[in-house]
A and B are shown apart, each in its own frame.
Chain A
Amino acid sequence: MSMRNSGRPWFRDHLGLSLPMRLGILAVVLIAVIPLSGGLSAKPLHVFSLIALWAIVATGLNIVVGYAGQLNMANGVFFALGAYVGALGASRWEWDGLAVMSVAVVAAVILSAVISYLVFRTKGLYFALITTGLAVIVDSVLIVWTDVTNGSLGLSTNADGFVPPPLTIGPVSISTPEQYFVLFVWLLALLVFAITLLARAKVVFTWQSVRDDEVLAASVGVKVARSKRTAFVTSSAIAALAGVVFAYWMGYVAPDSFVFAEASVLPLAMIIIGGSGTLPGPIIGALIVVGLPEVVDGLKDYSILLFGAMLLVSVLAAPNGLVGLAKDLLARRNRRRIKDTQVPEKVLEGSAA
């Protein structure tokens, strides 16, 4: 294996940063975020918490959209599922946070698994249509099913109407904004690390092969339908988990903030702008899409316009997102370096036909 690393610095291997390196970075992030949370004032803390949360959702969605290449328009459905389970768990059932999260994730897995068995028989276009339809249906269900969801009035996490209950994960109790920020960053970091492990176990390659060339993938033994299903289920489970913590954090959930517009479409925009199918892409996308309107004064009112413009520019000028742009520039710089050291093609070509 040591021959494989020829020419690379010690901290890189054939897949990018080496595993020990990544573990190291993970540890640093997990630890450093704690004092960081204390050092931020209320407004930035809120914004970064929001960014981290959306980064989780976008990273999760990236699995099915970016890696597996299936356009999922129903991500909001699972986010909503998680959020409502979270709100109910906090207010009506008063369970431990871990139990609530488990219920939400299991429900998401079951629902997405059922859908995926029905859907992943026909080609890609239908998946996008079906998930769009699902999103619209669930939106209505949330409003109509007042017994459970309280309809348009929404649900708050606190039964008595005053202080939102803390999110209890075993012995740990999360209630302050600082604590939620740390939780979000931890979840994001662990999620990113988990995906890294998947990449090393070739799971990510399998998804990408399905995205890039289904027929070729099948011809090398990939179970294409199964691959799509696992991507969709994983993605939906992550969305549900994010929904739960969102509910506890916000203290209140209502239909209009979920299904179609925000949790389905926003993460898509983040993925496109940041770089679809890359690890840092969705996070950078979240930073920009959520962070920019907050940071630049007066932009908030024009956020939708800004959005559309960013998306358009992205698709036209940087179809692989900002990460893609960065990679291109790096590659171009490397190619120029190599060109200066190479023998001209003509000398090598000979009698090539």
Chain B
Amino acid sequence: MLEVKGLQAGYGKRIILRDLSFEVGEGQVVALLGANGVGKSTLLNTLAGLNRAQSGSIKLDGDELGNVPTYRRVHRGLVLVPDGQQSFPGMTVEENLVIGLTPLKQPNLADSLAQSYEMFPRLAERRSQSAGTLSGGERQMLAIARAMLSQPKVLMLDEPSHGLAPIIVDQIAEIIREVAKTTPTLLVEQNLSIPQHCATHVLVLDEGRITARGTPEELLFSEEVVSAYLGM
């Protein structure tokens, strides 16, 4: 479970996020929506420890994260899948996955990989291929699979649909729904396609604050969201 209270963050004098408070609990997929430049990436980067919070608290399963560096947060179980379907293009699919096992003390390589391949059969087919040859959707799957291998307590995804074709987006949404069964998930998106399919809770970020909270039925495509996006 992830608890964020009164979070303020930015870059030096530029304050981007003000007084953010929300939670991501068991079985939940919390979708944080916002227009371009509103602070979605800043939020995830701050939660992941890539950017220092100016004030507020971030608690993972009750433990305050404070100024703990990124790799420690991963070890503790807060894992980020960054924007852009990033992988190590020079390595094979399998090698990319194995890197996901880094935080674990005594990983069982064979079992872990087997579990992964069960959840992502497409990756199994391509296990010895170089990651650079995968399609956009496959690389996104790879990024999520790798993140899952770290056995996260909370999973965060930065614009998972970015740059992907609509059919692929549906597949990714399906995967996220599966993942959320075992791992509370926070996803940040501009596009509403994925949240439509798998979000359990919706937050709207506008000018650095959460201006609306509710269910997908209430908020997705509501006038509130449209106004936030189109500056009304």
A353 to B11 alpha-carbon distance, docked (Å): 10
A352 within 8 A of B: yes
Closest A-chain residue to B208, C-beta based? A353
Contacts of B15 in A (CB 8 A): 353
A353 to B14 alpha-carbon distance, docked (Å): 5
What is the interface residue range for chain B against chain A? under 10
Contacts of A353 in B (CB 8 A): 10, 13-15
Interface size, chain A (Cβ < 8 Å): 2
A112 to B162 alpha-carbon distance, docked (Å): 53
Closest A-chain residue to B16, C-beta based? A353
Total contacts A-B at CB 8 Å: 5
Residues facing A in B1-31 (CB within 8 A) are 10, 13-15
Contacts of B10 in A (CB 8 A): 353
* Secondary structure of the A contact surface, majority rule: loop
A352 to B13 alpha-carbon distance, docked (Å): 8
Contacts of A352 in B (CB 8 A): 13
* B41 CB → nearest A CB, Å: 17
> What 1/0 mask marks residues of chain B from 142 to 168 whose CB sits below 8 Å from any chain A CB?
000000000000000000000000000
Residues facing A in B48-106 (CB within 8 A) are none
A352 to B18 alpha-carbon distance, docked (Å): 13
> What 1/0 mask marks residues of chain A from 311 to 353 whose CB sits below 8 Å from any chain B CB?
0000000000000000000000000000000000000000011
> What 1/0 mask marks residues of chain A from 114 to 149 whose CB sits below 8 Å from any chain B CB?
000000000000000000000000000000000000
A353 to B15 alpha-carbon distance, docked (Å): 5
Closest A-chain residue to B13, C-beta based? A352
Closest B-chain residue to A352, C-beta based? B13
* A348 CB → nearest B CB, Å: 12
* B46 CB → nearest A CB, Å: 16
* A106 CB → nearest B CB, Å: 56
Closest A-chain residue to B207, C-beta based? A353
* B19 CB → nearest A CB, Å: 14
* A134 CB → nearest B CB, Å: 43
> What 1/0 mask marks residues of chain A from 56 to 96 whose CB sits below 8 Å from any chain B CB?
00000000000000000000000000000000000000000
* A330 CB → nearest B CB, Å: 28
* A23 CB → nearest B CB, Å: 47
* A130 CB → nearest B CB, Å: 37
A353 to B13 alpha-carbon distance, docked (Å): 6
* A207 CB → nearest B CB, Å: 34
* A331 CB → nearest B CB, Å: 23
Closest B-chain residue to A349, C-beta based? B13
* A349 CB → nearest B CB, Å: 8
A352 to B14 alpha-carbon distance, docked (Å): 8
* B38 CB → nearest A CB, Å: 13
* A52 CB → nearest B CB, Å: 50
Closest B-chain residue to A353, C-beta based? B15
Contacts of B13 in A (CB 8 A): 352-353
Closest B-chain residue to A345, C-beta based? B13
A352 to B10 alpha-carbon distance, docked (Å): 12
* A110 CB → nearest B CB, Å: 54
* B157 CB → nearest A CB, Å: 27
* B21 CB → nearest A CB, Å: 20
A140 to B225 alpha-carbon distance, docked (Å): 74
A195 to B149 alpha-carbon distance, docked (Å): 68
A352 to B15 alpha-carbon distance, docked (Å): 8
* A1 CB → nearest B CB, Å: 37
Closest B-chain residue to A351, C-beta based? B15
A39 to B227 alpha-carbon distance, docked (Å): 84
A353 to B39 alpha-carbon distance, docked (Å): 13
* B14 CB → nearest A CB, Å: 6
Residues facing B in A188-218 (CB within 8 A) are none
Closest A-chain residue to B10, C-beta based? A353
* A91 CB → nearest B CB, Å: 68
* B210 CB → nearest A CB, Å: 17
* B7 CB → nearest A CB, Å: 16
A286 to B10 alpha-carbon distance, docked (Å): 49
A-B contact pairs, 5 of them (CB 8 A): A352-B13, A353-B10, A353-B13, A353-B14, A353-B15
Give me the interface of B with A, judged by CB distance under 8 Å. Answer: 10, 13-15
The 5 closest A-B pairs by CB, nearest first: A353-B15, A353-B14, A352-B13, A353-B13, A353-B10
